[in-house]
Chain A
């Protein structure tokens, strides 16, 4: 059994607002083993980005109020800021959704991609640039040496994202967190970027956390997936298993609501009823119960924990934990 590389244990991150305390991350736990690609999937606002930012300790103005993030024997939530800076960009790297706004418009790409090596290795400008150019080449940017002198606005969307990936990998981190890396891109470019991420995962052995709301992306990329809802993990397991027989009604509903090539003709798309909950004022019991097709009485009162359902899958659902099946409703 390989030791997990990263282990998030019961993480709680909150935001204080004028209207109340928003529990953005409400008891999230998961593991990441070396070299694996883990998907975190959920709707906008479910807390997946905040979880990632919390791992990096970039969650301000939010606060991590409890829980642990174990990485190589250290609890990241307890490190000092300068200790954390040693880890950011070097051992755990993060790339973001919109490469146009995520790159600084006044510095050229080569300079930005080389910045981590100047920061963490103390390399001089020339050496950093050389390594940046090499990295840019490896992520598939043609004429990398010339392109490195260009500015972000001179790159196309796909190339920018490649540059961001290069920037994230330049210190060969052990973990790469990709927050919606393809959402802002054209569909054809999306496929290329995902290919690149797969390639990177193989070649560098970097464990990847892929955050997305797109189930299709997860299906193609991730060995394991966790499903988040309202700040909590509601299901986790190997991707094929979760997709084939989901053990949480939310996952089940999600899968039913997307159009599938292999579906029966005339089968209607079923959107999930209701709206996502107000994170300041969560429903009692299981957070999903107001929208759940399978709810029973207990769901309105008690909060289900994330428990093992079968050999490989975990789910936080009273119904499936009791052995119930999720079948067409």
Chain B
């Protein structure tokens, strides 16, 4: 029954979230005893300031009180305040979140749109030169460091093209500061970062689709389909692919933490104003509470994404839907 399945997955997610909050606070707890991150970098801080800082962060209260207080704030959308300027972390997150979502979902969509055809081709032409070539490209693809790929693409498509007076692709920001901001401008800015982010996963997913298709095509029901007299195309794409895609959803769910992590690196390289870049900038300034808040939020994103994937899986696989 779909409802039961969804409820179960949701409950599991809640448990995981609670676990994450625990880890989050254990981490924060390691510092609250004596050390406030970054405090030794600012010699101008007087003891009173330090005490005030600690009080505002709740570091002088017993652990469980602090934990509950923190949970309470989080439930109300208060993810803490910046240690630098006291501004609410949530405000910063909400400001940058759309950009991160834009980048991440585009990368996933590109990844799926490219890896599925490649995987299918690899499966159908198994053992052929095309298949070998695709395999080689895939294996190479997940050996490339994402940040370096970003740098190289910027070097080639921004710097070098610009140097030679050719039209070039923008390499930073989500849109141009001057007369920019329209759809096309945003699209241009999205190209390089989304390509880099999706490249790694396209390699993995195309291999996966290939083996999933191979497995599906060796199933008995494919033989039955052929025996009914349908075209090979219908056998492969209607009967076969429909089954082969289902495990991909689970895989994407499992890869989400990696995607969000990779998103941070890509955002930094391309100056993309998302929550990853936010965390990085604030980390450089030792703004521990902001980084903490963003980390927790990013984890929530991952968990939500997983829940979405589970739901999708439940909808697409009738064995789950009608248990």
Binding site for B on A (CB under 8 A): 56, 58, 81-82, 84-90, 93-94, 96, 98, 101-108, 115-116, 119-120, 150-151, 153-154, 164, 167
Contact = CB atoms under 8 A, between A and B. Distances in A.
Interface in B285-318: 316-318
Interface string B230-261: 11100000010011001000000000000000
B319 A153 contact: yes
Given A151-B319, A153-B318, A153-B319, A102 B223 contact: yes
A116 B229 contact: yes
A94 B223 CA distance: 10
A150 B322 contact: yes
A264 to B, nearest CB: 42
B242 A154 contact: no
B254 to A, nearest CB: 21
Most chain B CB within a 10 A radius of its CB, from A105, A106, A116: A106
Nearest to B319: A153
B227 interface: yes
B322 A151 contact: yes
A102 B220 CA distance: 5
Given A101-B219, A105-B319, A153-B318, A85 B231 contact: yes
Nearest to B318: A151
Nearest to A103: B221
A101 B225 CA distance: 12
A81 B239 CA distance: 19
A111 to B, nearest CB: 11
Contacts of A153: 318-319, 322
B229 A119 contact: yes
Given A102-B223, A106-B243, A150-B322, A116 B228 contact: yes
Interface residues of B, number: 22
Given A85-B229, A88-B227, A106 B322 contact: no
Contacts of A82: 231
Interface of B: 219-221, 223-232, 239, 242-243, 246, 316-319, 322
B228 A115 contact: yes
Contact of B227 (A58, A81, A120, A151): A58
Given A98-B220, A101-B220, A106 B229 contact: no
B221 A101 contact: yes
B243 A104 contact: yes
Contacts of A120: 229
Contact of B224 (A102, A119, A154): A102
Contacts of A106: 242-243, 246, 316-318
A150 B321 CA distance: 11
B229 A96 contact: no
Most chain A CB within a 10 A radius of its CB, from B220, B227, B230, B242: B227
A105 B322 CA distance: 11
Nearest to B219: A101
Given A85-B231, A106-B243, A96 B322 contact: no
A105 B318 CA distance: 7
A235 to B, nearest CB: 28
Contacts of B243: 104-106
A295 B219 CA distance: 42
A85 B232 CA distance: 10
Given A151-B318, A153-B318, A167 B223 contact: no
Nearest to B246: A106
B318 A119 contact: no
A103 B318 contact: no
Contacts of A56: 227
A90 B318 contact: no
Nearest to A88: B229
A84 B227 CA distance: 10
B322 A93 contact: no
B221 A105 contact: yes
Given A88-B226, A104-B239, 11 more contacts: A58-B223, A58-B226, A88-B229, A89-B230, A93-B228, A96-B227, A101-B219, A103-B221, A104-B225, A105-B317, A151-B322
Most chain A CB within a 10 A radius of its CB, from B219, B221, B242, B322: B221
A120 B231 CA distance: 11
A119 B319 contact: no
A147 B322 CA distance: 13
Contacts of B322: 150-151, 153-154
B260 to A, nearest CB: 30
Contact of A167 (B228, B230, B317): B228
Contacts of B220: 96, 98, 101-102
A93 B224 CA distance: 10
